[in-house]
Amino acid sequence: MAVIHIEIGTKSQHLGRVDLLFQAQVKTMVYEIQYKDLDWTLKIIFQKEFPFQIEAWEESNISGWGKSVKKLITKAVRKKTIMFDYWNKHNNKDLLLRKKLDLSN
């Protein structure tokens, strides 16, 4: 695993320390971005081989204050892939493509 520490921000907005982590697994790689001062993390799991398809992602952050603080986690996993000219598919007649991908409306 490799870890890179950087500072991100401008004079008017400082986002604090960011850790970038890379981890190799058997068939995939994990790229993790940790915004330490914001307590926000994004993980992207992708194939090691070209075309490096994203298999899943996970985002976690803290919500609330005091005793009501909660860690929120959002996850997504790729179920299916179809190749088409998505930039031309934005009408109601194209909703069938969402069903083919097992996506809700």
Question: What are the extents of the domains in the chain?
Answer: 2-79
pLDDT of res. 58: 97
Of the two residues 52 and 8, the one the predictor is more confident about is 52
Ramachandran category for residue 9: left, alpha or beta (phi over 0 → left; psi -120 to 50 → alpha): left
Q: What is the mean pLDDT of residues 78-91?
A: 88
Q: Is pLDDT at 85 greater than 60 in this prediction?
A: yes
Residue 5: predicted pLDDT: 60
Query: What integer pLDDT is reported at residue 4 of this predicted model?
Result: 59
Q: What is the DSSP string of 42-56?
A: EEEEEESSTT--EEE
20-77 pLDDT tens trace: 899 999 999 999 999 888 889 999 999 999 999 999 999 999 998 889 999 999 999 9
Tokens of 46: 């992708």
